[in-house]
Structure 1
Amino acid sequence: MKTWNDKVVVITGASSGIGAATAEMAAARGAKTLIMARSQGKLDELAGRLGGKCETYALDVASTESVQAVFARVRDTHGRVDVLINNAGFGMFERFERTPLDDFERMMNVNYMGVVRCTQAVLPDMLAARSGNVVNVASLAGKIGTAKSSGYSATKHAVLGLTNSLRQELAGTGVTVTAINPGPVDTPFFDTADPSGGYVANVKKLMLTPERVAAAIIRAVERDSAEVDLPGIAGFGAKLFHLFPRTFERVSRRFLNLK
């Protein structure tokens, strides 16, 4: 099992929710925790709560220039990144025909291309060191599409496709690639995805806590896990969907399409 002590850990989308909870757990384990998000103010608030046990970097994963500049600073300061946790992302829930093209493009640029940009920034050094972990926070929406989530689900399907392909490419290099696939999580994500609050009200009792997902990320890195579905029963449902898609959709449509 890997230890976190003195590991250089980068977490994107770290200003709240899953990212913030993961930062707290990594820092508590002795990692050199580098938290990144667009809002410097929110990062500073988190750093204050962590008692200064982290470094803050304002980062926009949708900007190639921002990613290159920030990771160049990290390399100059620390020389390497041991663990990259690609967590930044957002969603917008709406029917396909009512979703502007710009919204599809923005979600793909952040949720998928953000992962590509950040991973490309750290991978050469990981390969040179023959060591490293890349963790991509995807979603069960990357395995099962549902109504009003065509744009968001497509981005997470893309993240999973990238993750699975990259894992095979990097076999034997010492660099591991992990997918974390949570169901709905009680985070500010839904401030944008579900501004009416209707979906959250429908699934509130089923929602995961950020801390539960963060703990799964920590364990996955320690164990070099390939993939983690949360909750487990939902992961089993995803397997049934791929085996019996029409039957699964017919039986589960009412439950899944609560948006």
Structure 2
Amino acid sequence: MRSASSVNGRIVAVTGGARGIGREIAAQLAEAGAHVGIGDRDGDAARSVAAALGPRARGFDLDVADRASFAAFLTAVEETFGAVDVLVNNAGVMWVGPFDQEPEAARRRQFDVNVHGVINGVTLAAPAMRSRGRGHIVTVASAAAKLSPAGESTYAATKHAVLGYLTGVRWELAGTGVEITAIMPGVVDTELAAGTATGAARMLAPADVAAAVLAAIEKPRFEITIPRYVGPLVGWANVLPQRVRDVLLRRMVPNQVDAVADSSVRSTYEQQFTNPDQSGEAQ
């Protein structure tokens, strides 16, 4: 059992916390003794999850792409538990398919949630943390921050943007007591990844990512890839000639265009991109 010494008593805000990875992060944090504010577009689901986790958790409405909504969420968590020690940017969305068939609404929503949502969280939470001389922002990015699978071009672009943004912010916050972490998992068994392939890697469980988040809070690191070998593998591949690199990555990285071809398994999830009233922004 992992020591909860550096998690116990912490006040943590988790975005996209009603389902999937976010729900598991909230559950593991609450079990480790943290006070957890769970934000989600589906506020009722967030409150239901919080009720199941007990008095250490509370659920709130949150649209990370709406700056006012994000600010209200952080204020509500602070009024309920106290100043936020850790913000976990987990909310994310993904459309999968050929680049030239991707609806414009899907492209825009992915950037709104995956990029602007993270920026909203960082710019709202980090200044207060810096003024206190302590704090931690953990962002659940993706291995797509390092790789770009076929069929996930826009999604990968958003995750590359997030990693670039966090890299710059980390340098600006150096020496302030505020830590920045980017968690980059492979394919995780959630609604977001339904119907996609894992390539050479195994399918991850939400618990794998949640465990990495808790480990990062206990012992901060900037980049964490799951599985661990992904980071070194990509670094090694990048020094190879392009032709050799292409052969290697074709063997390792899944082709999601092929994976979802002639399949309707993602249709319900992806309705959120054509119907703005749909929820589902939980990784």
TM-score when normalising by structure 2:
0.83
Residue 95 (structure 1) aligns with: 98
Residue 65 (structure 1) aligns with: 68
Quick one: percent identity of the two aligned structures?
37
Deviation at 1:155, TM superposition (A): 0.4
Which residue identity lines up with residue 175 of structure 1 in the other structure? V
Deviation at 1:258, TM superposition (A): 2.8
Give matches, 1:117-132, under 5 Å: 117-132=120-135
2:236 aligned with 1:240 = yes
Residue 259 (structure 2) aligns with: none
Q: Please give the secondary structure, in 1, of the residue aligned with 2:36.
A: strand
2:221 aligned with 1:218 = no
Query: Hey, what's the Cα distance between the residues in 2 that align with 1:170 and 1:180?
Result: 18
TM-score when normalising by structure 1:
0.91
User: Per-residue displacement from partner, 1:155-214 (whole Å, max 9, x unpaired)?
Assistant: 0001100111111111100000001000000111124xxxxx2x34x6598111110111
Residue 54 (structure 1) aligns with: 57
Query: Hey, what's the Cα distance between the residues in 2 that align with 1:22 and 1:73?
Result: 19
Going from structure 1 to structure 2, the CA distance change for 1:245 and 1:41 (only over 3 Å counts) comes to farther
Q: Is the 8 A contact 2:6 2:217 kept in 1?
A: no
Query: Hey, what's the Cα distance between the residues in 2 that align with 1:248 and 1:233?
Result: 16
User: Per-residue displacement from partner, 1:39-96 (whole Å, max 9, x unpaired)?
Assistant: 1232133223313430111101111221122223333444411000000001011111
Q: Please give the secondary structure, in 2, of the residue aligned with 1:232.
A: coil
2:163 aligned with 1:160 = yes
Going from structure 1 to structure 2, the CA distance change for 1:15 and 1:204 (only over 3 Å counts) comes to farther
Residue 255 (structure 2) aligns with: 258
Residue 118 (structure 2) aligns with: 115
Which residue identity lines up with residue 234 of structure 2 in the other structure? A
2:209 aligned with 1:206 = no
Q: By percentage of residues, which structure has more helix?
A: 1
Q: Please give the secondary structure, in 2, of the residue aligned with 1:179.
A: strand
Is there any run of 5+ residues in structure 1 with no aligned partner, and where?
A: 192-196
Q: Please give the secondary structure, in 2, of the residue aligned with 1:47.
A: helix
Q: Please give the secondary structure, in 2, of the residue aligned with 1:243.
A: coil
Q: Is the 8 A contact 2:13 2:74 kept in 1?
A: no
Query: Hey, what's the Cα distance between the residues in 2 that align with 1:205 and 1:58?
Result: 35
Which residue identity lines up with residue 172 of structure 2 in the other structure? E
Query: Hey, what's the Cα distance between the residues in 2 that align with 1:241 and 1:107?
Result: 28
Residue 187 (structure 2) aligned to one of 181, 184, 187: 184
Q: Please give the secondary structure, in 2, of the residue aligned with 1:147.
A: coil
Deviation at 1:254, TM superposition (A): 4.4
Bigger relative contact order (CA 8 A; separation at least 6) = 2
Query: Hey, what's the Cα distance between the residues in 2 that align with 1:72 and 1:245?
Result: 50
Is there any run of 5+ residues in structure 2 with no aligned partner, and where?
A: 257-283
Query: Hey, what's the Cα distance between the residues in 1 that align with 2:73 and 2:66?
Result: 11
Report the count of equivalent residues: 252
Greater displacement, 177-186 / 116-125: 116-125
User: Per-residue displacement from partner, 1:82-133 (whole Å, max 9, x unpaired)?
Assistant: 0000000010111111112221111010001001111111112101110000
Query: Hey, what's the Cα distance between the residues in 2 that align with 1:117 and 1:164?
Result: 16
Going from structure 1 to structure 2, the CA distance change for 1:75 and 1:48 (only over 3 Å counts) comes to closer
Q: Is the 8 A contact 1:144 1:241 kept in 2?
A: no
Which residue identity lines up with residue 161 of structure 2 in the other structure? A
